[in-house]
Each structure stands twice: as structure tokens, then as C-alpha cells.
Structure 1
Amino acid sequence: MEKKSEINGHAVPGSASTDLMVEQQQQHLHPRGGLGGRLAGFLRRNLLVILTVSGVLVGVGLGMVVRSLGLTRAQMTYFAFPGEMLLRMLKMIILPLVVCSLVSGAASLDTRSLGKLGGVAVAYFLVTTLIASGIGVALAFIIRPGVGAGALNTNALGLESVSANKETADSFLDLARNLFPANLVAAAFRSYATDYKMVAMGNNTNGTTLYQKVPFGTETDGMNILGLVLFAMVFGVALRKLGEEGEELIRFFNAFNEATMVLVSWIMWYIPFGIMFLVGSKIVEMEDVVLLVTSLGKYIFASILGHIIHGGIVLPLIYFGFTRKNPFSFLSGLITPFTTAFATCSSSATLPSMIKCVEENNGVDKRISRFILPIGATVNMDGAAIFQCIAAVFIAQLNNAELNAGQIFTILVTATASSVGAAGIPAGGIITIAIILEAIGLPTNDLSLMLAVDWIVDRTTTVVNVEGDALGAGILHHINQQEMRKLHLQEEELEEVRVEAMANVEAEEETSPLVTRQSKILEATPEAIESVL
């Protein structure tokens, strides 16, 4: 009989790790050494969380101290090296984690439940991103961060200009092209992007050469996670359809997945040290932060307030509405991935620790978490949608452009749709703002203002992004459990009906005079049987 445990309100199958956790929880409830034993138990259970949060705090202090030393650019690079190593480790694990977890997740769920869970996931991602976009636009019109800041420009702050000349239509076509990569191996490190060249189309009547802007395809550095996610899902479903022939390959991906999670558990112990230097190096590299915050303070405030409202109120309410469980007890098990998200500014880099913590601390079914979290890290960008909408309205106010209802609707739809294709990397959302600005006909030359403070806003953005993914996994786990419970009850009812039917048949056999007479004949002597025959 398989043992069952309960973690954070979720029932999970018993395993070595969960049994250990339950034992630790029992020790916590019934401490053996009084206050000292209780404190030791608490520290042992939450050691990684404490170390990770301490890493951020120590990093801030260390950054302040080193900043006053006036390091050269080369010395700053050396100082940031341990943090860079953490990012490299986390990025190294993304490809095998995404591909293997999605293949094994899609193969372990039957096609009907896969379709239902996929539908619920898509609806959840779409609705939460639309709500996030709405919050962003509303806050931008209430706080009005760009009003009165018309004198603010990139030259005043000494910023480099950001060029973004991509057409909106081409941006969405690139999204569709990246869904179906022409080369899977190349998709592991390159994405498709449209560029333009001017082609001479002849002369006009004055003899002036006429040029036309013609789009052509190029490859840009950066993993095409969207294409890999779609391929892995479809490949997992195909393996399931093969039946016995596909079993060996499914076992291979399952084993690969488990081995990757072991690597993740090792990397997680390096996270506190790496985070300390990541945060410290960001503080050392900061330009004149006082000038930036005073100039763009209202924009930063509006963005962070939007993230607090969405992440602290809207998403927990949605989770509670579906599950009737305390969302904050669920989120309390995810402090390590949230801290990683805050330090790295990358949804993709946070994915390994998120999968591990959601499964071990919150007891979410492996099939659910490994299927939905890689998809969420790619397509669910609630935090990005908020700051992109605020940035678009901010730039409109900066240029004294009055936005009509049609343009506001365009901002909402474009932010929701284009956040799907936003790269889960630091500053990945800036290019998406360019798409929104192009869609509503605003200049993109003020984008460098966003880039100047992106390192501040991007931290809360990434935390909200990964929180949305985690709560989505929790909701799907709850729905899946309810479905399984219903099936179990139906099976029990069928079993009861079968038992009753069997009992009725037996009763009829016992009372039937014909059967009684036949049984009496069978009990008689062979001579009697012969005479009857």
C-alpha cells in the first residue's frame, strides 16, 4: 500500500523525501528538545531559504561597500564573476529541463486530461495576463507618470538610444515562425528574427532612385524556448500514442528528467553565494541612481505598485477562488525561487528551483508541475504585461499624445499577445514595448528611459511572472485531484452496483425451485441420476 502524506494542504504519494519532510513536520509539532530543539528543527528545514534571503541582504551591503572603492570596469567584471557563474549554471540546465520535463509530462498524462488541463492552463494564462494589462493601463492613467516630464530625454540622463524599427505584423509573424523551428538543434541557441534591407526599385520621373524596405529572415542569439516547448509537448503525445513501442523512450526521458532534478538540487546550494555577488555587482554598476529615481520615480512607483496589486491580491484571490485554500501558505514554500527570480531577473533561470520547490514543499503532482511550469515560464508574463502597459502610456504622456479608446484597447491586446513571445531573460520585455509603441503609432526613441530603470522594475516583474506560474500549477493540481476523486467515486459506485447484482443473482439461484430440484438431483446417487436421464 502506498503511503500518503500531506504538505501545505496537498495530499502527495509517499516517497523518501516526502516521508522525511513529514517526519520533520511531526518533530516540529512535537519537539524533543524544547525551545532549542524546535529552533534547530526550524533552521534545518528552512536553511536554504534563510541562506538565500541572507545572500540578497549581504549582497546589498557588500555592493554599497565595494561601490565606495571606485572600481575600474575590469575589476567590476571580476567582482561579478561568482554571480555570472550562477546564471551560467541555471541557463545550462534550462534546455534539458524544459525538453525532458515536457516530453515526460505530456506522455504521462492521457490525451483527454492533457487537452482539458491544457485548455484550463491557456485560459488561466490568458485571463491573468489580460487582468495584468488592465491594471497596468489603469494605474498609468491614475498616477500619470509621464505628465510634466516632457523635458525628460535620453540626452539629459546621458543614455544611449535604443533603436527598434520592427513592424508590428513582422513581430507576430516571427512569433508564429519560432513556434515551428526549421532546425531543432539550432533552436537550442538561436531564434528567428526579421530584419530589413533597402532595395532599389528604379527611378522616378526626376531621376531619383526609389527604395523599398524589404523584410528578410535572420538568426539571433538566444534559445528559441517557444519552439522547443511546442515540439516537446507534441513529441510527448506522439510517444504516448505509440503505446508499448514508446515506453522505452518515455522511460529514458523520465530518467533524464530525474537526473536533471538531482543537478538542480546541487545547484540550489550555490544559489545563496551566487545571489550575493549578483545583487552586489548590480549595485556597484549603478549609474547616478538618485537622478534616475527622481526623474522616473513615478514610473517606477506605478510599475512596482501594479506588481504588488496583481501578485499580492489578484493572483492569490484567483487561487483561493479555485481551491478554497490559503494562497499564502502555498506561496510560503516558494521563497527560494522568488528570491532567485528577484536576483536573476529571469523566469527561465528560476524554472529549475521553482519545479523543485513546487513539488517538494507544496506537493504538486510531478506530471502537472513538469508539464505546466516550463510552458508558464515561456508564455505567462503577467509582471511584464503590467510594466509594458505602464511604459506605453508613460511614453504617450511624455510625448503629449492623447490616447483614444481604440489605442488603449490595442495596448491591452498587443501587451497580452506579445508577452507570450517575450524572452524569459533580463530586459526581455523592452523589445515587446517597441511592438506596442509601433502598434499605436508612437516613437520608440524614448525606450532607453525604460532600459535605464529596467534593472529595478525587472526584479518585481520576474517575481510576479513566476508567482503566476506557480499558482497556475497549484490550481491545475487541485482540478486534477478533483477529477481523480470523481473517477474514484464513480468506480466505487460501479463496484457497489456490481456487488448488488451478484448478490441478487445468488439470491435468485437459492430460491429458484428449478435450481433447487436440479441441485437435489445432483446430490442424489448415480443410479438415481441414470433413472432421471
Structure 2
Amino acid sequence: MEKKSEINGHAMAGSASTDRIVEKSAQKSFREKLLEFLRKNLLVILTVSGVLVGVGLGMMVRNMSLTKAQMTYFAFPGEMLLRMLKMIILPLVVCSLISGAASLDTRSLGKLGGIAVAYFLVTTLIASGIGVTLAFIIKPGVGAGALNTNNLGLESVSSNKETTDSFLDLARNLFPANLVAAAFRSYATDYKMVAVGNDTNGTVLYQKVPIGTETDGMNILGLVLFAMVFGVALRKLGEEGEELIRFFNAFNEATMVLVSWIMWYIPIGIMFLVGSKIVEMEDVVLLVTSLGKYIFASILGHIIHGGIVLPLIYFGFTRKNPFSFLSGLITPFTTAFATCSSSATLPSMIKCVEENNGVDKRISRFILPIGATVNMDGAAIFQCIAAVFIAQLNNAELNAGQIFTILVTATASSVGAAGIPAGGIITIAIILEAIGLPTNDLSLMLAVDWIVDRTTTVVNVEGDALGAGILHHINQQEMKKQQHQEEELAEVRVEAVANAQAEEETSPLVTHQTKALEATPEAIESVL
């Protein structure tokens, strides 16, 4: 007769059959594990494959010598991805910042905001320092004096904007005069020559007068500041503001659903974005031989800052492995590499930071939109290298004052740099104006910007993500500390109550007094 064992009241067959069941479940679990791994990482695998297929596709199509019009048609699927991502930026930034600022306590908001600003400033300053140091070690501009913009068939880039006006525009954009217009226009200073009279010879004298103009492009800085302050104001309203907070929370969640749908199109879009860039490339050999040292210095700076400095800062704060944190963000990094836009990477970054790394929604949705706007570590590195490169190109010796000006200007102006492709080129013009160098060599930067801008954007978004991770850790520690203090207080209260009861029961003085008082009520009345 077959042996039977009982588990939880159910009769089970003998050991031979159980072994078979265990073996089957082991096989099944391995298959399940593989399927689960593929299901979890399918988007990452598809996105990375999209880049590789894009490179191959670009190389194949490059040999077909397409016309400019045909190149535009080839790039169309990639353009659609960029349009989708840009479409989602406005509701995502505004709603996530309002709901983020409204959900955080005002005191913790101030503390977290302070830590975030300090982190952004310090990392950008370190990045600027790395950029300047590498530029002086590698000397990318030395020996490239013979290089001329005409050799490369480039258009000249001119910028006659004063440094003062650049920073004043930054302040003006923080407070947009029209919120609706801020969704698609920014403030920019232009100049007009105004006749102010004649000199002794009768020649008309002119003065350059700054006038305000509007340029195309979302004023994301103004929208970020308004959304943060508006979120705090809703929090202050208390119950009256609850409905509006719930509305923005719902709007935010709906936007994230849209983001999850768009993310499935990212691999296809990336394939054509990368492919079209390879097809559009001019004579790469000439560019790399003439500007190779500049490209090398910039990418090396990004590797040092993104691969060593930022992970060390994260480890210093959290004592956790930074690379396991970054491994959950391959999709946004690939998107950053393909789109060259911090803003366009924001939707997938928020989603991955929350889902893969477990960062608190309130933290990620508050800090990442700010980071995408003001934290530009990668840009600071290549801007400093570019400024020193142009100085070396023009055989200009930089003194200590000018080097300090480069560091400070690069750090400050990276705040105002647009999170769009080639957004940093305009910022280099501000740095060059500040140290008194000509801006006509900027077209050289534009020639290779499509190479350097890819690693720049990856480092920019990595800095934001690690910042969110650090803030999440600090917030967790604060909450644990608060919880511990509350538990201690509760224990103290319990002990105090117990002691009071014990005294009442055992102290002979207390019992004696109460008995005496009970015995002589008249005495009490007389005393009163």
C-alpha cells in the first residue's frame, strides 16, 4: 500500500511523486523567472536595441546619397517621438511641481529645497572645475590655430548680447509677465541703435539701447517657479485648497499614464533619431582630426564626472551602491543619448525613478522637473572646455581672474540654459563675452555639438536622478528619526502614568493624607 502523508489535513501521495512535482516546479520557476525578467526589462532591451539598429540603419542609408528632402522623410518617426515628449513636458512639469510642493510639509519643503539647491550648485561647480582642469591639461586649442570655420564649410554664429543682459533676462524669465505666453515664449533682450544727437563735426551719434523681445521656446524656468509657489499657496489654504490639489494630483497621474504609453514608442523613435543623425553627418574624418582633442576632452570630462564624482557623492550620502541605482535608469539614459534633451527625458526619468528605484513620488515629482531646468553638470563641463579651447585657438593667455569668471559664469548660466539640443551653445557666448573673447569661433562648437551633446545630456539627467535618490534617502532618515522620537515620547508617557499609579498605591503619606481628609470634611471646609 502506498504511503500517504498529511499536510494541512490533505492526503498527499508518496515521496516519489512529490519529487517529480518539486522538479517540475523548479523547471517552471526558471522559465517563469526568465519570462519575468524579459517582461520587466523588455523596454530597456528594446530601447538599447533601437540605438544599435539605428546605427546600422544609418550606415546603410548613408550610402544611398539621399537628397535633403528624403533625409527629412527618413527622420520623420524620430521627429514624432520628440514632438510627443515635448507635448507632455508642460502638463508634467506644472502638475508634478504643484502636487509635489502641495504634498510636502512647508518646513520639509524648505529643507529639501535648500539641500537640492546646494547639491545642484556644488555638483555644477565641481563639473566646471573638471572642465577647466581638463582643458588646461589636454590643451585642445593649441596647434589648432590654423583651423578656420571656412575649412569646415560652417555658418558663422554671432552673439552680441551683453553678459549683464543675459543675467537680467534670467531674472525676467523667472517672473513671466504672461503665464500663457510662457508656455511657448521666453523673454530675450535685443538692441536698437538710437540717435542721441550730433558731435562737433555734425556726425550723428548713436547709442545701443536694450529692448525686450520674445523668442520661441518654452519659458520653463518661469513655469517651474510659479508651479512651486502655487503648490505652497494651495497647501496654506488648508481644506479650501484640497479639491484643487486633488485635481492636480489626478491630472499628474493621468499624464504619467500617457507617459507609459509614449515609452513604448521610444525604441522606434530612437532608432530613426540615431539613424537620421548618422545620415546627416558631414565629413566626420575632417571634423575629428581637427576637433578631436576638444571632443576627447569633453567626453572624458563627462566620464569622470558621471562615472566617478556623482556616484561618489551619492555613496557618501546614502552608503548604497550608486551603480545598482543607475542600472534601473537605462531607458531614460538611452532617451537622453538619442534626443539630446533633458526636458524630453523628464517623463521617462520620473517613471523609472519611481518604479525601478522606489523613490517617493512626492520627492521625484518635486525635484526632477527643477533638476531638468537648473541642473546642467554635463553642459558646465563642455562649456568650460569650449571657452578655454577658444582662448587657446586665439592664443589668448587666461589669467586667474578670467578662469574664476569662467567657473562662476558657467555655473550660473547653466541654470538658464534651455534643456534642448544645442541649448548650451548660447551659454558659451555668455562666458566668452564675460572674459572678453570673440564669439565668431562658436560655429566650431556647433559642428561637433551633435557628438558632445549626447554625453552632456546623459550626465545632466544622471545628476538629477542621483539628486532625487539622495533627497529620498535624507527624507527616509528624517522620517525614521521622527518616528523614533515619537515612540520614545510614548514610552515616557506610559512610564509617567505607571509611576503615578504606583505612588498612589504604595506611598504611606498619600494614603494617610487622603484618609485624614476623608475623615474630617469639616476641617477641609474651615481651611477653605
Structures share fold, TM-score greater than 0.5: yes
The alpha-carbon deviation at position 262 of structure 1 amounts to 0.5
The alpha-carbon deviation at position 326 of structure 1 amounts to 0.3
The alpha-carbon deviation at position 276 of structure 1 amounts to 0.3
Distance 1:217 1:224 in 2: 15
Distance 1:122 1:411 in 2: 20
Unaligned runs of 5+ in 1: 28-37
The alpha-carbon deviation at position 41 of structure 1 amounts to 2.6
Q: Is residue 333–residue 361 contact of structure 1 (8 Å, CA) maintained in 2?
A: yes
Residues 7-41 of structure 1 show CA distances to partners (whole Å, capped at 9, x for unaligned) of: 999999999999999999999xxxxxxxxxx3323
The alpha-carbon deviation at position 42 of structure 1 amounts to 1.9
TM-score, normalising length from structure 1?
Answer: 0.90
| Residues 213, 414 of structure 1: alpha-carbon distance in 2 compared, 3 angstrom cutoff | same
Distance 2:219 2:289 in 1: 38
Residues 81-129 of structure 1 show CA distances to partners (whole Å, capped at 9, x for unaligned) of: 1000000000000000000000011111111101110110000000000
The alpha-carbon deviation at position 208 of structure 1 amounts to 1.4
The alpha-carbon deviation at position 313 of structure 1 amounts to 0.2
Residues 476-532 of structure 1 show CA distances to partners (whole Å, capped at 9, x for unaligned) of: 000001100100000000000011011112212222558768999999999999999
| Residues 436, 291 of structure 1: alpha-carbon distance in 2 compared, 3 angstrom cutoff | same
Name 1:25's counterpart in structure 2.
25
Distance 1:159 1:111 in 2: 52
Q: Is residue 9–residue 325 contact of structure 1 (8 Å, CA) maintained in 2?
A: no
| Residues 290, 189 of structure 1: alpha-carbon distance in 2 compared, 3 angstrom cutoff | same
- Say which SS state the counterpart of residue 419 (structure 1) adopts: helix
Which of the residues 117, 133, 136 maps onto 1:141?
A: 136
| Residues 401, 7 of structure 1: alpha-carbon distance in 2 compared, 3 angstrom cutoff | farther
Distance 1:47 1:326 in 2: 24
Name 2:13's counterpart in structure 1.
13
The alpha-carbon deviation at position 3 of structure 1 amounts to 41
Matching of residue 446 in structure 1 with residue 441 in structure 2: yes
Name 1:170's counterpart in structure 2.
165
The alpha-carbon deviation at position 44 of structure 1 amounts to 1.5
| Residues 147, 479 of structure 1: alpha-carbon distance in 2 compared, 3 angstrom cutoff | same
Answer with 206-215 or 393-402: which moved more.
Answer: 206-215
Matching of residue 116 in structure 1 with residue 111 in structure 2: yes
Distance 2:295 2:464 in 1: 24
| Residues 3, 48 of structure 1: alpha-carbon distance in 2 compared, 3 angstrom cutoff | farther
- Say which SS state the counterpart of residue 211 (structure 1) adopts: strand
Residues 322-380 of structure 1 show CA distances to partners (whole Å, capped at 9, x for unaligned) of: 00000000000000000000000000000000000000000000000000000000000
Q: Is residue 24–residue 41 contact of structure 1 (8 Å, CA) maintained in 2?
A: no
Residues 270-315 of structure 1 show CA distances to partners (whole Å, capped at 9, x for unaligned) of: 0001000000001111111111111100000000000000000000
| Residues 20, 141 of structure 1: alpha-carbon distance in 2 compared, 3 angstrom cutoff | farther
Q: Is residue 5–residue 18 contact of structure 1 (8 Å, CA) maintained in 2?
A: no
Residues 385-423 of structure 1 show CA distances to partners (whole Å, capped at 9, x for unaligned) of: 000000000000000000000000000000000000000
| Residues 491, 197 of structure 1: alpha-carbon distance in 2 compared, 3 angstrom cutoff | same
TM-score, normalising length from structure 2?
Answer: 0.91
Distance 1:169 1:13 in 2: 86
- Say which SS state the counterpart of residue 343 (structure 2) adopts: helix
| Residues 9, 438 of structure 1: alpha-carbon distance in 2 compared, 3 angstrom cutoff | farther
Distance 2:516 2:273 in 1: 92
Which of the residues 416, 439, 445 maps onto 1:421?
A: 416
- Cα-Cα RMSD: 8.3
Equivalence map 1:286-305=2 (5 Å): 286-305=281-300
The alpha-carbon deviation at position 430 of structure 1 amounts to 0.1
Q: Is residue 18–residue 360 contact of structure 1 (8 Å, CA) maintained in 2?
A: no
| Residues 23, 41 of structure 1: alpha-carbon distance in 2 compared, 3 angstrom cutoff | farther
| Residues 11, 429 of structure 1: alpha-carbon distance in 2 compared, 3 angstrom cutoff | farther
Distance 1:9 1:78 in 2: 69
| Residues 166, 393 of structure 1: alpha-carbon distance in 2 compared, 3 angstrom cutoff | same
| Residues 4, 219 of structure 1: alpha-carbon distance in 2 compared, 3 angstrom cutoff | farther
Name 1:496's counterpart in structure 2.
491
**How many residue pairs end up in the alignment?**
523
Distance 2:173 2:308 in 1: 34
Matching of residue 151 in structure 1 with residue 139 in structure 2: no
Name 1:54's counterpart in structure 2.
49
Q: Is residue 12–residue 363 contact of structure 1 (8 Å, CA) maintained in 2?
A: no
Distance 2:389 2:488 in 1: 60
Q: Is residue 11–residue 363 contact of structure 1 (8 Å, CA) maintained in 2?
A: no
Unaligned runs of 5+ in 2: 28-32
Distance 1:123 1:91 in 2: 28
Name 1:212's counterpart in structure 2.
207
| Residues 176, 13 of structure 1: alpha-carbon distance in 2 compared, 3 angstrom cutoff | farther
| Residues 16, 487 of structure 1: alpha-carbon distance in 2 compared, 3 angstrom cutoff | farther
| Residues 48, 248 of structure 1: alpha-carbon distance in 2 compared, 3 angstrom cutoff | same
| Residues 462, 14 of structure 1: alpha-carbon distance in 2 compared, 3 angstrom cutoff | farther
| Residues 117, 379 of structure 1: alpha-carbon distance in 2 compared, 3 angstrom cutoff | same
Residues 140-194 of structure 1 show CA distances to partners (whole Å, capped at 9, x for unaligned) of: 0000000011011110110000011100000000000000000000000000000
The alpha-carbon deviation at position 456 of structure 1 amounts to 0.2
Residues 49-71 of structure 1 show CA distances to partners (whole Å, capped at 9, x for unaligned) of: 00000000000000000111111
Distance 2:7 2:78 in 1: 32
